[in-house]
Amino acid sequence: MIFGRPLHKAITGVASVLLLVGIALAAVEAPPAPWTVEALVTLLKEQREPSMAFEEATYSSLLTEPLRVRGLLRFTPPATMEKAITDPFHERYVIEGERVRFESERKGITRTIALDDYPALRSFVDAFRASFTGDAVQLQKVYAVTLDGTRRQWTLLLRPREKAGQSMVDYILFTGSEGRVATIAIRSPDGDRSVMTLHHGAVR
């Protein structure tokens, strides 16, 4: 029995090592969680930031060169969105519940409209709300959704299902990594398009 206690410690130590190795191997061999639209919108909701700086370039046949603007995006769940352009001019779009308010300093106007009066705009707004509140069901109800890539680098293509939405948007293309959107490209049926680049972290 003189070796009993050291032998017991040795056996315990070996068992602990084997247990740790087994846990590590299980973690390595465990299949990754499926990468689905539901998984993506859940991440978008979890990693959503209250406000982000953006840069946006708009390309149109009516423009001799792209229109480039900068500003801030804000989203307050569940239904308030704001896009504020701060450079090179000041404009503000605020969507609160069922109403949209547009303010333009350079045009000297303030206008409020109801979403119900503009079905195409409603489908557009519903898609953004669904994306950032984790509502994959609503997103797929309004848009035909195609998710490509991996969790580390993905693209999400949205095409309107209803004719009202199709009259306004050909497609919306999100790119990103994990739960952070990098760019949002929107193309209209006439070929005009805009590309927004989002800057995460501290608002500049």
Q: What is the pLDDT confidence band of residue 32, given thresholds at 50, 70 and 90?
A: low
- Pairwise pLDDT comparison (14 vs 146), residue with the higher score: 146
Residues 17-31: pLDDT tens digits? 434 444 444 445 455
Query: Which of 3-17, 36-50, 68-82 has the lowest average pLDDT?
Result: 3-17
Q: Which residues contact 130 (CB under 8 A, 6 or more apart)?
A: 41, 136, 138, 139, 142
User: How much is the pLDDT for 8?
Assistant: 44
Q: What is the pLDDT confidence band of residue 115, given thresholds at 50, 70 and 90?
A: confident
Among positive and negative, which fits the CA dihedral 120, 126, 128, 130? negative
The helix (H) or strand (E) run that includes residue 130 is helix 119-133
User: How much is the pLDDT for 60?
Assistant: 94
Closest by Cα among 138, 133, 160 to 79: 133
State both tokens at 127. 């898609």
Q: Where are the domains of the chain?
A: 1-30, 37-199
In the predicted structure, residue 142 carries a pLDDT above the cut 50: yes
Region 11-20: what's the mean pLDDT? 43
DSSP helix/strand/coil, 204 = coil
CATH superfamily of 37-199: Lipoprotein localisation LolA/LolB/LppX (2.50.20.10)
Residue 175 CA to residue 156 CA, distance in Å, equals 6
User: How much is the pLDDT for 19?
Assistant: 43
Residue type, 192: D
Name the pTM for this structure.
Answer: 0.79
Q: What is the pLDDT confidence band of residue 4, given thresholds at 50, 70 and 90?
A: low
